[in-house]
Copies of this chain bind each other. A is one copy, B any other.
Amino acid sequence: MPAPANPVSYAFERVLAEVRAGDHPGNVADYIPELAKGDPEKFAIAAASVSGHSYAAGDSTTRFTIQSISKAFVYALVLAEHGVDAVLTHVGVEPSGQAFNAISFDEQGRPANPLINAGAIVTTSLIPGTTADERLEHIRQGLSAFAGRELHCDETVAASESATGDRNRALAMLARSSGALVGTVEDTVEAYFRQCSLLVDAHDLAVMGATLANDGVNPVTEQQIVPAPVARDALSLMSSCGMYDHSGQWLFNVGLPAKSGVAGGIVAVAPGEYGIGVFSPPLDPVGNSARGVAALRMLSEEFGLHLFRHPARPVSPVSAIETDPHTATTTMRLRGSLDFVAAEQVAYEAVGIIDASGSRTLVIQAEDVTEASNVAIMLLHDLLTRARDAGIDIAVIDPDGVLRRK
C-alpha cells in the first residue's frame, strides 16, 4: 500500500495552485541586493506533525535566509538559558502597534517585544558568548537543533545586511543607552545579522514549528530542545506579535501562532499538532509573504486550524452504562479525551444513575480514555471520594494510568 502522506500533500498542492492562480500582489524585498535576488516564482508548503511525519508541496527544499523567523526561536533559546523573569527585565512581550523597525521602547526602556528588531537585537545580546562568532555559533547550534539538521549562514547575505545595517546598529545603541542591552553593540549586531542569514527551507521551518507544537521536543530527532513552558511562551508571543502590525488581523483570520521573515518564509504552529512552513518571496505591504499569508489562510479555513474553532461537538464520553440489579453494580465505560466538560458530564451522569438505581458498587472502565486534563482528573476523584463517603464501593479500571493524579 502506498505511503499515507498523500492526502495532506495533495491538499497542499491544491492550495499552492489556487493561491498561484489568485491575485496576491507583492514585491521581493530589495533593501539589500542579496534579498532582491529571491526568485518570485518559488512557492512551497511543508508540514511536520508532532509524530515526526512530514508533508510537502512545491519548492520545499529551496533554501532561503530565515530572517526574522529566527527571532522567535532565538527568544526561546534565551528563555531556556536565563528564565522568563530575567529576560522580561530586558525585553517586553507587548505588541507595539508599530512597524518592525520602529523605535519602540516602553517606559522601562525595554523594547516592546522580541519580534521587532530592537527587541530581537536585545534578545541576541542575551545569547551566551563574548564575541559575535561565539554568539552566532550558539544560535546556529540551537536553531539547527530545532530544525533537526545542521544549518549554515549565508555569509554573503550577512555581509550585505551588515553593510546596510545602520538602523539596526542605532536600535542596538538606543537599547544600550536605555539599559536593555548589555554588552558590545557591534558584536551583538553582527551576530544578529548572521542569525538572520541562516539558510533554511520550508521543511526546516515545519520541523522547527513542530518542535514548538510538541512541547519543545523535536519530533524527528526526539531531542528536547527547550523546556515545555518555553515552547508555550514562544507560541504566546508569536500569537500576539508575530505578524508585525498585522498580528491582530492574522489572529482573526488565520488563528495560528506564526512568524514571518523578509525573505518570504513563514512558520505557523498548530499547538500539539504540527508545524507548517511556507515560502514565497514577494511580500505584501506589511512585509509578510503575500502568497504565504494567502496559503495559510486557506489551510486554516479548510483544515479547521484556527485556535478558536470550536471542535466538533463530542459524543458522550460515556460509551456505555450498565446496572446489574443483582449485584447492585453500575459500570460506566468512558472513552476519548476527558477535559473539564467531559468529566463534568461523567460526574453528573454517575450521580444520577447511582441515585436512581440504588447501586452499591461503581465500576469505571477507562481503557478507552485517551487523555485527561488536570481539572477532569480532579473532578473524577471528587466523584469517587463522594461516592466512597456515601458508602459506595469503587473500582477503576485504568490500565494506562490516564486518570492518575499528576
* Interface-side segment among A22-30, A94-102, A134-142: A94-102
Shortest Cβ distance from residue A79 to the other chain B in the assembled complex, whole angstroms? 11
Set B8, B248, B255, B340: member contacting A241, Cβ < 8 A: B248
Name 7 interchain pairs, CB-CB below 8 A, sorted by A. A8-B378, A11-B378, A232-B308, A240-B252, A271-B307, A273-B340, A307-B307
Task: Report yes or no: A375 in contact with B232, Cβ–Cβ below 8 A.
Answer: no
Q: Given the complex of chains A and B, what is the CA–CA distance between A367 and B335 in angstroms?
A: 9
Interface residues of A in 299-342 (CB under 8 A from B): 302-304, 306-317, 319, 335-337, 339-342
Tell me the complex Cα distance, A228–B304, Å. 13
Q: Do A310 and B273 form a contact, CB below 8 Å, given A94-B97, A97-B95, A370-B317?
A: no
A245 touches B94 (CB 8 A): yes
Beta-carbon nearest neighbor of A348 in chain B: B4
Separation in Å of the A242 CB from the closest CB of chain B?
A: 11
Report if A167 contacts B (CB, 8 A): yes
The docked-state distance in angstroms from the alpha carbon of A237 to that of B239 is 12
Given the known inter-chain contacts A173-B169, A232-B306, A237-B252, please indicate yes or no for A368 contacting B335, CB distance below 8 A.
yes
Q: In whole Å, how far is A272's beta carbon from the nearest beta carbon of chain B?
A: 5
Chain B residues positioned under 8 Å from A316 (CB to CB): 370
The answer to whether A93 touches B249 (Cβ under 8 A) is: yes
Pairwise interchain contact A370-B400, C-beta atoms closer than 8 A: no
Give the docked Cα–Cα distance between A340 and B2 (Å).
Answer: 19
Chain B residues with CB below 8 A from A7, complex form = 378-379, 381-382
Q: Is A218 an interface residue (CB 8 A)?
A: no
Name 6 extra pairs, CB < 8 A, besides A239-B239, A272-B339: A49-B341, A95-B247, A235-B308, A311-B371, A319-B367, A336-B369
Report copies per complex: 4
- Given A310-B215, A375-B303, is A402 in contact with B315 using a C-beta cutoff of 8 Å? yes
Q: With an 8 A cutoff between CB atoms, is A355 at the interface?
A: yes
Q: Within the assembled complex, what's the spacing in Å between the Cα atoms of A316 and B371?
A: 10
Closest B residue by C-beta to A237: B252
A386 near B: Cβ within 8 Å?
yes
* CB of A176 to closest CB in B, whole Å: 5
Quick one: CB contact mask for A195-232 with B, threshold 8 Å, 1 for yes?
A: 00000000000000000001100000000000010011
CB distance from A345 to the nearest CB of B (A): 6
Q: For the complex, is A177 an interface residue (Cβ under 8 Å from B)?
A: yes
Q: Is A246 part of the contact surface with B, judged by Cβ < 8 Å?
A: yes
Task: Check B236–A255 contact: CB distance below 8 A.
Answer: yes
A373 on the interface (CB 8 Å rule)?
yes
The answer, yes or no, to whether A32 is at the interface (CB within 8 Å) is no
Residue in A3, A172, A240, A310 whose Cβ sees the most chain B Cβ within 10 Å: A310
Q: How far is the CB of A166 from chain B (nearest CB, A)?
A: 3
In the complex, which residue of chain B has the Cβ closest to the Cβ of A212?
B308
A31-61 at interface with B (beta carbon < 8 Å) = 49-51, 53
